Amino acid sequence: MTPGEAEVLFETLRDLKKSGKTMVITTHKLKEVMAVADAITIMRRGKTVVECSPESTSAARLAELMVGRERKESLPLQHRQALQPLQQLQPLQPHQRPQPRKPGDIVLSVDGMTVANEHGGRSLDGVSLQVREGEIVGIAGVAGNGQLELAEALTGLKEWAGGQMLYLGKRMERSSVRERIREGIAHVPENRMKSGLAGSLGIVDNLLLKSYDRTERSRFGLLRKKNNLNWAQELVARFDVRAPDLESPVGQLSGGNQQKLLLAREISQRPKLMVAVHPTQGLDVGAAEAVHAMLKKLRSDSAGVLLISEDLDEVMSLSDRIFVMYNGMIVGEADGAKPDREQIGRMMAGLNQSEEEAVV
Amino acid sequence: MKRESAAEVIGKADRRKLVRLQLPFELHYDHLKKGGAWWMPLAWVLAALAICGIFIWLNGMNPLTVYAKMAQGAFGSSFGISETLVKSIPLLLCGLGVAAAYRISIWNIGAEGQLVAGAIAATAVTIYMPSLPGGLYIPVMAAAGIAAGAAWGLLTALPRAWFGVNELITSLMLNYVALLLLDYFVFGPWRDPAGFNFPGTPMLLPEQQLMTFQGTRLHYGLLFALIAAVAFAFFLGKTRWGYEMKVLGANPSATKYGGISINRHILIVMIISGGLAGLAGMSEVSGVAHRLMYGLSPGYGYTAIIVAWLAKLNPWAMIPASLFVGGLIVGGYSVQTIGLPSSMSMMLQGAILITLIGGEMLGKYRFVRR
Amino acid sequence: MDFYSYLIIASISSGTPLLFAVLGGILSERSGVIFLGTEGTMLIGAVVSCLTFAGTGSMLLSVLASLAAAGGIGLAHAFLCVTLRANQIVSGLALTLFGTGLSAYLGKPVAGAALAVTVPRLSMPWLEKIPFAGAIFSNLDVFIWISFGLVAVLYLYIYKTSWGLHLRAIGDSPATSDAMGLRVGLTRYLHVIGGAMLMGLAGCYLIMVYSPNWMEGMTSGRGWIAIALIILAAWNPLYALGGAYLFGGLDALGFRLQLMEIGIPSYFLKMLPYLVTIVVLMIVGWRGRHVPSPEPKSLGSAYVREQRS
């Protein structure tokens, strides 16, 4: 929801409360909790950790309790510092942002992208944007305004009805998924268990998904078992994927480890463009931080990252530039270093800067 | 339909808790667990035998004597064993074929039609190419059988790939069409004029028949089947194609995302399926019946489905599975002498399949200490 | 009456077993369970009603017996698919195999013997006054009238009642229905068993009216054509009517063409229904390629409460 819509929801909930109804809300969004709840219960691993009221605690304390003291120690140093000043949940202070670099050459240039939808209309209508080396471009917006179609069209999963896509100077809007993978476009899908991973297969098989036809992984049509096993072990260690062993079905791993596995696979391809859709959905604070760290590393390795997320805080805290999508179009741009939350919220709701009425 | 209120649901759960025993372990359902231990299919087969045993008993006979006679007939003499092996050849070939398709959830039940298509093609070689040098007959017939079976398989694959037509129905319909085609040829243009109205072609010449092992009916088609099994296992386990099949079977959405083409695999798998079944058809004509005739296949294509499922789609397991089911069929014939119809074995096959799939779920439970 | 009237009556008669079977399949699939045991269930329905009639001479008892036997097969399928969460496709195949074998076994004593049965007909000679259509409807048997009624009842049930709404909800999204308090498992059981009973009724009609002579495998694939017809009918009882009579017509036409000796070998004429099924499915598939399918979205998947995602 847009910030405005969320406020309307909270008002509705407060009204329901006044008329005597009781509500149970499950969420991991600390802001919602602090805004609406009378009583808060924190659960971890199926057990209640603490019960308290919003007056007696702060969002920072809640975050600590959610993650658990032991986990904090395992985070890299700079991210521990990032967790502490969470009092007002504002975007990160300038000195803690990823160091702004001079963005390099254009990796991706999209012009007039148009995609048709099932009912004869358009899910994307003339979208144009650019992503450069070494920058994170964030796409903010309420879910259902064309973000998924944007990701699918860029990665070859959806057909283009119009427009063109230049990737590293090459026209790619008609290329197959395979070709795009080979050229170095990585994709973290919005539903990791549905599209990204095969839950009943093991870690090695899942890691192979995008690279199994390269000569390092298979020769003359035969898979190089030993080789692949070592490669998988290396990746698992490097990306801190916690699993009982390499053969256990990845469906049994926690959401955070599944996502780390997925990113391990994508990042090990040394992509030049990463399209990440809701990369921290359903992840706890620790795993989310690890994912953000990976995206920042990609950025510092001169790749371009397109971050598509419903979580406005995430977009605002990571992006160098922010585009807002509404109704299949880009309706506004904001500076990542000094984003104006209210303005972005209005754009997400379809309210144009210069007009008071909603864009239809 | 009356909906349960929340209070009723909670009340029911509470009552159930009171009754449950406090055992030192729990059963947890794990939907990802790859089915139970290897011996579970054996347990289910025994259960099926028990169920059919009830039917036999209700008909006034002793199930144990019946089963003993079946085992005797199938494995108790060298004749029995060679007959069982003869039956297991088409079962193994067709079973491998349908297993390939089932691994990616392509429900090919057209093995029967594909077998018949292969048989017809192989016979066509003998009829329309009467002057081939002797040694060439077998290879050409085999090639024709494979090609015809593969083409019949493609007839199922293409509507599925292009129009989304359910392959189950298409392959089934094509079975009936193939059988009618067979009828046409053996009652019509290819019928043996000297055959006293027997619905079959003239006997094949010696060089058109598959050689047999010393003094038995067991023909070299056995080699086709075993080689196919080994090749299948190799391709599945070690090649890129096998990997793609694995992913396709585990999560079709992920394959699209990884750039693997589902349609291409549908076509490949049906060509393999059909080709293997067609080879089975050729070997039945050339090695067993030595002619094309009415009733060439007593439902091998359908029985092969059970073989495939019994083996959990694993090529190595399919070798013993095809032997077992072959023995069932031979045993079924041998109990005809004590008054049971041969359809008895069809009932048994159905019962085995039922207990197999019913039992699959039980294999997904695991014991967890409290 | 002329050739065409006879042909239409023959089409209706030939299409009625298909109609019962398709209606049964629609019931089951609407709840999300695919039932491929149609062929075996029809055979069991036929053989049981044949044996009961031969033993008791009562049509009513025969029908009830075949309903019960078919319901038993439906119960087995429901148990396997809903409670044991087995693969629905293989379960149906297994039940077809089992049913085919069992029916051959049970039918041995009466094989080939003509059944001396007369089915009551609803005779309305005053209808013959209406040109063309009247002659067709003036003397149809009760089963056909029951089938008409069933089409209407099922149509109203599925589309116009709240039970039907619940049924469609369960078929499309059992997870949501469960969260709303609907009894997914019970609904599926009831509809699979009910559907199987209708398929048994189809077999019963086949032997009582259409071909009163038990033979192994006498359904000749009608069960499978019925399964295809479910798709063609877009899971709608009204369209099922049209589809069943279309195929009944093909059957009747093929028969008549054979009798007329127009030079095409009978084998190819008999292939007509099967080939037409494939072609029609291709056309439907091609036409519907950009439109969301009317198929119940949870068709074929077992509902596991813990796995809602």
pLDDT value, residue C48: 94
Instruction: State the Cα angle at A79 between A76 and A81, rounded to 5°.
Output: 115
Q: Name chain A's partners: 3 or more CB pairs within 8 A.
A: B, C
Domain assignments of chain A as residue spans, ordered by start: 3-89, 106-348
Contact: A118, C309; criterion CB under 8 Å: no
Q: What is the C-alpha separation between C122 and C278, in angstroms, rounded?
A: 36
Q: How confident is the model at residue A102 (pLDDT cuts 50, 70, 90)?
A: low
Contact: C290, A193; criterion CB under 8 Å: no
Instruction: Give percent of chain B above pLDDT 90.
Output: 38
Average pLDDT (B113-126) is 94
Side chain identity at A199, as an amino acid letter?
G
The CATH superfamily holding the domain A106-348 is: P-loop containing nucleotide triphosphate hydrolases (3.40.50.300)
A273 and A184 Cβ atoms separated by less than 8 Å: yes
Nearest in space to B88 (alpha carbons), one of B356, B271, B328, B312: B328
The alpha carbon dihedral of B89, B92, B98, B101 has a sign of negative
pLDDT digits (tens, 9 = 90+) for A194-231: 888 998 899 999 999 988 888 888 888 888 888 889 99
Distance from CA of B164 to the nearest CA of C (A): 6
How distant, in Å, are the alpha carbons of A31, A241, B256, C186 from that of A182? Answer: 41, 25, 15, 50
Contact: B257, A177; criterion CB under 8 Å: yes
Residues of B with Cβ-Cβ distance to A180 under 8 angstroms: 259
Q: Are strands A162-167 and A106-116 parallel, antiparallel or unpaired?
A: antiparallel
What are B111's two structure tokens? 């093995």
| Tens of pLDDT, residue by residue, chain C (309 residues) | 577 778 888 899 999 999 999 999 999 999 999 999 999 999 999 999 999 998 888 889 999 999 999 999 999 999 999 988 888 988 998 899 889 888 988 888 888 777 777 777 777 777 777 776 777 787 788 899 999 999 999 999 999 999 999 999 999 999 889 988 899 999 999 999 999 999 999 999 999 888 888 888 889 889 999 998 998 898 999 999 999 999 999 888 887 777 777 777 888 888 888 999 899 889 988 887 777 778 888 888 888 776 654
Side chain identity at B256, as an amino acid letter?
K
pLDDT value, residue B160: 93
Q: How confident is the model at residue A85 (pLDDT cuts 50, 70, 90)?
A: very low
Distance from CA of A210 to the nearest CA of B (A): 6
pLDDT digits (tens, 9 = 90+) for B46-75: 888 888 888 778 777 788 888 888 888 888
Nearest to A201 among B244, B250, B257 (CB): B250
CB of B349 within 8 Å of a chain C CB? The answer is yes
Distance from CA of C287 to the nearest CA of A (A): 15
What are B305's two structure tokens? 């489905």
Burial (0-12, 13-18, 19+ Cβ within 10 Å), A76: exposed
Q: What is the C-alpha separation between A282 and A257, in angstroms, rounded?
A: 12
Domain count of the fold of chain C: 1
Distance from CA of B157 to the nearest CA of C (A): 12
Interchain CB contacts (distance < 8 Å): A and C: 3
Q: How confident is the model at residue B155 (pLDDT cuts 50, 70, 90)?
A: very high
Q: What is the C-alpha separation between C5 and B355, in angstroms, rounded?
A: 49
What are C133's two structure tokens? 């259509």
Name the phi and psi angles at A298, rounded to 5. Answer: -60, -45
**CATH of residue C212:** 1.10.3470
Name the phi and psi angles at B261, rounded to 5. Answer: -90, 120
The alpha carbon dihedral of B59, B62, B65, B67 has a sign of positive
Q: What is the CA radius of gyration of chain A?
A: 21
ipTM of this predicted complex?
Answer: 0.84
How distant, in Å, are the alpha carbons of B83, B217, B221, B284, B346 from that of B78? Answer: 8, 11, 18, 21, 24
Contact: C292, A193; criterion CB under 8 Å: no
Residues of B with CB under 8 A from a CB of A: 32, 34, 238-244, 246-247, 250-251, 253-254, 256-259
Distance from CA of A98 to the nearest CA of B (A): 31
Q: What is the C-alpha separation between C106 and C118, in angstroms, rounded?
A: 23
Residue whose tokens read 């496709």: C89
Nearest in space to C245 (alpha carbons), one of C181, C151, C309: C151
Instruction: Report A:181-210 residues touching C (Cβ under 8 A).
Output: 193
pLDDT digits (tens, 9 = 90+) for B175-218: 999 999 999 998 888 888 887 777 888 888 887 787 777 667 78
Instruction: Report A:28-67 residues touching C (Cβ under 8 A).
Output: none
Residue whose tokens read 């600590």: A64
**Longest pairwise C-alpha distance within chain B:** 84
pLDDT value, residue C149: 95
Give the residue on A whose Cα is nearest the Cα of C289. Answer: A118
E-strand stretches of chain B: 25-29, 365-369
In DSSP terms, which residues pair with B193 in a beta bridge?
none
Side chain identity at B272, as an amino acid letter?
I
Residues of A with Cβ-Cβ distance to B243 under 8 angstroms: 205, 208, 212, 218, 223
pLDDT value, residue B144: 95
Side chain identity at A215, as an amino acid letter?
T
User: Residue C309: inside a domain, yes or no?
Assistant: no
Q: Are strands A122-132 and A170-171 parallel, antiparallel or unpaired?
A: unpaired
Range in A121-130, A347-356, B125-134 the model is least confident about: A347-356
C7 and C208 Cβ atoms separated by less than 8 Å: no
Please say if the pLDDT value at position A90 is more than 60.
no
pLDDT value, residue A67: 56
* Structural domain range at position C151: 3-303
Angle, helices C237-260 vs C3-30, to 10°: value is 140
CB of A161 within 8 Å of a chain C CB? The answer is no
Distance from CA of C294 to the nearest CA of A (A): 14
Nearest in space to C202 (alpha carbons), one of C20, C78, C56, C69: C20
Contact: C277, B1; criterion CB under 8 Å: no
Q: Which DSSP letter does residue C210 get? A: I
Nearest in space to A265 (alpha carbons), one of A283, A290, A239: A239
CB of C90 within 8 Å of a chain B CB? The answer is yes
Residues of C with Cβ-Cβ distance to A193 under 8 angstroms: 309
Instruction: State the Cα angle at B211 between B207 and B214, rounded to 5°.
Output: 135
Q: How confident is the model at residue B14 (pLDDT cuts 50, 70, 90)?
A: low
SS (H, E, C) B199-214: CECCCCCHHHCCCECC
